[in-house]
Structure 1
Amino acid sequence: MGDISGSLEGKCVVITGGGTGIGRATAHRFAAEGAQVLVTGRTAARLEEAAAAYPSISAFAADGAAADGPERIVEAAVRRLGRIDVLVNNAAITRPAALGTIDRRTAEEQIATNLLAPLFLAQAALPHLASARGTIVNVSSNPPSYGWPDNSVYGSTKVALDFLTATWAVELAPKGVRVVSVAPGITATPVMAHAGFTREQIAALGEGLTERIPLGRIAQPGEIAWWIVNVARPEAGYLTGTVVRVDGGLSVAAGQRT
Structure 2
Amino acid sequence: MTKKDEWQGKVAIVTGGSSGIGQATASALADLGANVLITGRNADNLSDVAALSDNIETLQMDSANAKSGEQIVDAAMSRWGRIDLVVNNSGAGQPAPIDAYDADIIANTSAVNITAPSVLVKAARAALSEQSGSIVNIGTAVSRNAAPMLSHYGATKAALEHLTQSWAIELAEEGIRVNAIAPGPVKTGALTGMMGLSEEMAEQIEAQETAQVPLGRRGGTADIVPWILRLGSPENEWMTGQILTIDGGWSLRA
Partner of 1:163: 162
Distance (Å, rounded) in 2 between the aligned partners of 1:199 and 1:145:
26
Identity %: 38
Partner of 1:224: 224
Secondary structure at 1:245 match in 2: strand
Tell me, yes or no, if the aligned pair for 1:94 and 1:192 is still in contact at 8 Å: no
Secondary structure at 2:13 match in 1: strand
Tell me, yes or no, if the aligned pair for 2:142 and 2:184 is still in contact at 8 Å: no
Q: Decide which structure has greater helix share.
A: 2
Partner of 1:107: 106
1:40 equivalent in alignment to 2:39: yes
Distance (Å, rounded) in 2 between the aligned partners of 1:121 and 1:161:
13
Q: Which amino acid aligns with 2:203?
A: A
Q: Deviations over 1:180-217 (max 9, x none)?
A: 00111111112111222111111100111111111111
Following superposition of structure 1 onto structure 2, how do residues 3-42 of structure 1 map, counting pairs within 5 Å? 4-42=3-41
Partner of 2:48: 49
Equivalent pairs counted in the alignment come to 252
Following superposition of structure 1 onto structure 2, how do residues 188-199 of structure 1 map, counting pairs within 5 Å? 188-194=187-193, 195-199=195-199
Secondary structure at 1:6 match in 2: helix
Q: Which amino acid aligns with 2:136?
A: V
Following superposition of structure 1 onto structure 2, how do residues 1-258 of structure 1 map, counting pairs within 5 Å? 4-142=3-141, 144-194=143-193, 195-253=195-253
Secondary structure at 2:109 match in 1: helix
Secondary structure at 2:7 match in 1: coil
Distance (Å, rounded) in 2 between the aligned partners of 1:180 and 1:147:
23
Tell me, yes or no, if the aligned pair for 1:37 and 1:56 is still in contact at 8 Å: yes
Distance (Å, rounded) in 2 between the aligned partners of 1:145 and 1:206:
18
Which runs of 5 or more structure 1 residues have no equivalent in the other structure? none
Q: Which amino acid aligns with 1:231?
A: L
Distance (Å, rounded) in 1 between the aligned partners of 2:222 and 2:36:
16
Tell me, yes or no, if the aligned pair for 2:95 and 2:149 is still in contact at 8 Å: yes
Cα displacement (A) at 1:143: 6.1
Tell me, yes or no, if the aligned pair for 1:64 and 1:73 is still in contact at 8 Å: no
Tell me, yes or no, if the aligned pair for 1:94 and 1:191 is still in contact at 8 Å: no
Secondary structure at 1:100 match in 2: helix
TM (normalized to structure 1)? 0.94
Secondary structure at 1:109 match in 2: helix
Distance (Å, rounded) in 2 between the aligned partners of 1:75 and 1:26:
21
